């Protein structure tokens, strides 16, 4: 419920809205899944290959 409230409150009811998400673990994955109901989430980086132990350098993020 909190994941949907976040994107709904920040994005409103904008058609075609996008939101950037940094995946750092299971909570991030759940947030992206929930956001798909309200907007087009963009995963800027995912550190699953590193076991969620590090975060990619921000200059390498795919920010929409």
pLDDT by position in tens, the chain (length 64): 577 777 777 776 667 788 889 999 988 899 999 888 888 899 999 988 888 888 888 998 988 8
Minimal CA–CA distance to 44: which of 29, 22, 59? 22
pTM: 0.77
Q: How many CA atoms lie within 13 A of 41 on its CB side?
A: 22
Count CA atoms closer than 13 A to 49's CA, side-chain side. Answer: 3
Q: Where are the domains of the chain?
A: 2-50
């Amino acid at each position: 419920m909190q994941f949907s409230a976040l994107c709904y409150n920040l994005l409103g009811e904008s058609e075609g809205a996008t939101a950037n998400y940094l995946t750092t673990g299971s909570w991030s994955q759940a947030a992206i899944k929930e956001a798909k109901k309200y907007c087009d989430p963009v995963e800027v980086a995912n550190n699953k290959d590193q076991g969620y132990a590090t975060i990619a350098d921000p200059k390498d993020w795919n920010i929409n």
